[in-house]
Structure 1
Amino acid sequence: MALFRRPAGLSPTPMDVSMKEEDLCQAFSNTLLCKIEDIDNEDWENPQLCSDYVKDIYQYLRQLEVQQSVNPHFLDGKDINGRMRAILVDWLVQVHSKFRLLQETLYMCIAIMDRFLQVQPVSRKKLQLVGVTALLLASKYEEIFCPNVEDFVYITDNAYTSSQIREMEILILKELKFELGRPLPLHFLRRASKAGESLKQQYYTGYTENDVLEVMQHMAKNIVKVNENLTKFIAIKNKYASSKLMKISTFPQLNSKIVQDLASPLLGRS
């Protein structure tokens, strides 16, 4: 029995209306859910897929993505500019391939580096030190067998000492408060590819086509610039041209009209 009753004749309060709207939204969501295939339904026998918790895990990753977001203009006013970062990333991709590290390690390396550069002023002389230390940290987090500090000293042609790398490692960890568990693009790519169909992808990723359009345009722009030799940063193309990675960067679809049209607004083409 309710403790309080609304006197007869009074209209519903705003709170009552809001609660009804929430109930309707929930009912509508439940109806939609019934029509969406549960892509985790058959994974219950595989404990590594965490089918009982996977939806909660991805919801948490989405929250973490917002909390650890990197400002699109995080290098504005800094001693480091976008071109310097691009040169470093291109080099890190080559180092990553040389050491034969996991894909997650590269993604995490770039995330650690950008988050650190966003909050900590770094001189040009120490930019490579930040990059190589970020790769060391990511290796420790993701790899079963991590390269030694001396390996990273060697790969920089002795530009930095082991002590300098270890000091930078401590500084980065302190600045990031040891919070390295950032959601990576690969996590969401695997989820989206598992969903497969566009209706299911929108439901399981939480993004509409309009939400991802701008990112798609920037990706298309970079693809066109690489394919038309408009940039010197081709480490990613070379990496994905290998048979081990199915020669993805050589697919003819990357030169299709769809990609060209997506890139056109950012390339100043009509």
Structure 2
Amino acid sequence: MALLRRPTGPSPTPQDISMKEENLCQAFSDALLCKIEDIDTEDWENPQLCSDYVKDIYQYLRQLEMLQSINPHFLDGRDINGRMRAILVDWLVQVHSKFRLLQETLYMCVAVMDRYLQVQPVSRKKLQLVGITALLLASKYEEMFSPNIEDFVYITDNAYTSSQIREMETLILKELKFELGRPLPLHFLRRASKAGENLKQQYYTGYTESEVLEVMRHMAKNVVRVNENMTKFTAVKNKYASSKLLKISTIPQLNSKAIQELASPLLGRS
């Protein structure tokens, strides 16, 4: 999800994107010509899985991901900082759970918020307004029945009016040119989970283990920080501690030696 740390470094150039697109195109178009199992071959009877087009769809999503990338330092020099954003996201996770919205809605909310913050300076007083409006927009996009705007006013303890939320909604839509559709972490997670085994997963995701290692380390660091009470941002852990979500955040593997070793370089531990 958007809570995951994005890779550091400069934004990709048009040449980088072009080369990446070409490589992705080659990888996905060769799916039936190599010895890698076609994980979509048995889905032809289910029109929702789009087995005839799914490889092209994911190729397009990867291209779109690069075109809509967020600069890892997009808050540098702004009135708001990463900690303020983290507080807001932690609160949005709680609001999302309270409203019982779809997982996709939360991911899109954070994506919309970050894309807007990247291009528009926002004062501290209006940061929560941007966040709650992004959740409203994401709800309209993903949910069959979106909460009413009055519900969003209430959840902010009347810090903002309906008119202010509508005004911010207009500003965000204009700035993003109404282009809300984008690939979400959940889309790629489902694809990678379907591939399953290491070789197939590498083939269908387009990433080697070494390429995802840095992100894995940051995820492990966040897990350790939460489990060792080194942070106040615990909304995600609390959410996934519920029986409805199989108490996945309480499994012993999250306190394993493997997690500790992954996180240790970023925690300054030997």
Normalised to the residue count of structure 1, the TM-score between the two structures is 0.88
Q: Secondary structure at the match of 1:71?
A: coil
Structure 2: gaps spanning 5 or more residues: 1-21
Residue 32 of structure 1: how far off its partner (Å): 8.7
In 2 relative to 1, CA 232–253 (structure 1 residues): closer, same or farther, beyond 3 Å? Answer: same
Q: Secondary structure at the match of 2:42?
A: coil
Provide the residue aligned with 2:100 in structure 1.
100
Provide the residue aligned with 1:169 in structure 2.
169
Counterpart CA distance in 1 for 2:32 and 2:143 is: 40
Q: Secondary structure at the match of 1:241?
A: coil
What amino acid is the match of 1:144?
M
Provide the residue aligned with 1:151 in structure 2.
151
Residue 98 of structure 1: how far off its partner (Å): 0.3
Does the alignment pair 1:267 with 2:256? no
Counterpart CA distance in 1 for 2:34 and 2:222 is: 39
Instruction: Kindly provide the CA deviation profile for residues 31-86 of structure 1, in whole angstroms up to 9, marking residues without a partner as x.
Output: 99421000000000000000000000000000000000001111000101011001
Does the alignment pair 1:131 with 2:157? no
Given that 2:32 and 2:38 are in contact with CA atoms closer than 8 Å, whether structure 1 keeps it comes out as no
Instruction: Kindly provide the CA deviation profile for residues 108-147 of structure 1, in whole angstroms up to 9, marking residues without a partner as x.
Output: 0000001110000000000000000000000000000100
Counterpart CA distance in 2 for 1:260 and 1:131 is: 33
Provide the residue aligned with 2:57 in structure 1.
57
Counterpart CA distance in 2 for 1:31 and 1:174 is: 39
What amino acid is the match of 1:216?
M
Counterpart CA distance in 2 for 1:31 and 1:119 is: 38
1:72-221 equivalences under 5 Å are 72-221=72-221
In 2 relative to 1, CA 112–174 (structure 1 residues): closer, same or farther, beyond 3 Å? Answer: same
Normalised to the residue count of structure 2, the TM-score between the two structures is 0.88
Counterpart CA distance in 2 for 1:231 and 1:129 is: 24
Counterpart CA distance in 2 for 1:58 and 1:171 is: 30
1:5-20 equivalences under 5 Å are none
Relative contact order: is structure 1 or structure 2 higher (C-alpha 8 Å, sep ≥ 6)? 2
Residue 211 of structure 1: how far off its partner (Å): 1.2
- Taking only aligned residues, the RMSD between alpha carbons, in angstroms, comes to 1.6
Q: Secondary structure at the match of 1:60?
A: helix
Residue identity over aligned pairs, in percent, reads: 88
What amino acid is the match of 2:63?
Q
Given that 2:150 and 2:162 are in contact with CA atoms closer than 8 Å, whether structure 1 keeps it comes out as yes
Provide the residue aligned with 2:252 in structure 1.
252
- Structure number with bigger Rg: 1
Provide the residue aligned with 1:242 in structure 2.
242
Residue 210 of structure 1: how far off its partner (Å): 1.3
Counterpart CA distance in 2 for 1:33 and 1:134 is: 43
Q: Secondary structure at the match of 1:69?
A: coil
Counterpart CA distance in 1 for 2:251 and 2:103 is: 20
